[in-house]
Amino acid sequence: MSCERASRRSFVGISALIFAASAAVTVDGCASMSAMGGMPMPGGWTMSMAWMRMPGQTWPGAAASFLGMWVVMMVAMMLPSLLPILLRYRQAVGRTGETRPGRLTALVGAGYFVVWTVFGIAAFSSGAALAAAEMKFPALARAIPTAAGVIILIAGALQFTAWKAHHLACCREASARDLTLPANAGAAWQYGLRLGLHCSRCCAGLTMVLLILGVMDLRAMTVVTAAVTIERLAPAGDRVARAVGAVVVGAGLFLIARAAGLG
């Protein structure tokens, strides 16, 4: 029993180190991105450099740079709410007699973040294509502030839907229930993928808020991380999700009104 407690403490300690390292790299990346500024656009807004190539950089290089930062950022944002699930999985695998539960637990985490990596590829492809269109068509660029407000409004409304409630319940149950999964690499990998799919769907609205407000904006990132973690782990997570939705809807209405004033 004491050996198990020591092993658990070691796992939590390693997870804490991974979180601290990813958070530090994310903060540094946000600072670097902020120092570069952005490109002023028609309509009175500024385009983030995250969707653009640096001088002398190829598009594959830009995509790889974004994706590397995206994965590190997702680890910092999602690990606090993922850790209870990993601990329960590790405990369940240990009960089967598996002598190296950490290996299978790492596979669960890898599968989970692979899903977020795919999400990041889609985000960069869409963001870069939209950025190119905005620079080519000034009318489109002028419409962006209003469109951003509408998207955030929709993201807030998504928090009240049965779809959101279903995926949030799946994430919360994974944190609380006892697992009876086979203790093998294939099952661990598939479980991680399922967790990632539920999580990415559950967080779809909040992720859109982050992408709209600034994918490398530290304040937006902190607020979204707090919202995701609290709605997953708080006793009344469904009510928290609706409260977050109300705040996001208000932010969307404010942005739409501000865009109308600028227009």
For 200-212, how does the pLDDT look when each residue is reduced to its tens digit (9 = 90+)? Answer: 999 999 999 999 9
Among residues of the chain, what percentage have pLDDT more than 70?
Answer: 95
pLDDT confidence of residue 3: 66
Can you tell me the distance from the alpha carbon of 217 to that of 6, in angstroms, rounded to the nearest whole number? 38
pLDDT at 34 over 90: no
Please state the length of the chain.
263
Q: For 62-109, how does the pLDDT look when each residue is reduced to its tens digit (9 = 90+)? A: 999 999 999 999 999 999 999 999 998 888 887 777 667 888 999 999
Q: For 45-67, how does the pLDDT look when each residue is reduced to its tens digit (9 = 90+)? A: 888 888 888 888 898 899 999 99
Which of 98, 103, 231 is CA-nearest to residue 164? 231
The SS3 of residue 55 is coil
Burial class of 102 by CB neighbour count within 10 A (0 to 12, 13 to 18, 19+): middle
Q: In angstroms, what CA-CA distances link 56 with 49, 60, 62, 130, 237? A: 14, 12, 10, 21, 47
Among residues of the chain, what percentage have pLDDT more than 90?
Answer: 58
Query: pTM of the full predicted structure?
Result: 0.90
pLDDT confidence of residue 97: 72
pLDDT confidence of residue 204: 93
Cβ distance 67 to 117 under 8 Å?
A: yes
Q: For 234-261, how does the pLDDT look when each residue is reduced to its tens digit (9 = 90+)? A: 888 899 999 999 999 999 999 999 988 7
Residue of 107 and 33 predicted with greater confidence: 107
Cβ distance 149 to 157 under 8 Å?
A: no
Residue of 99 and 133 predicted with greater confidence: 133
Q: Can you tell me the mean pLDDT for 155-173?
A: 91
As a whole number, the mean pLDDT across the chain is 88
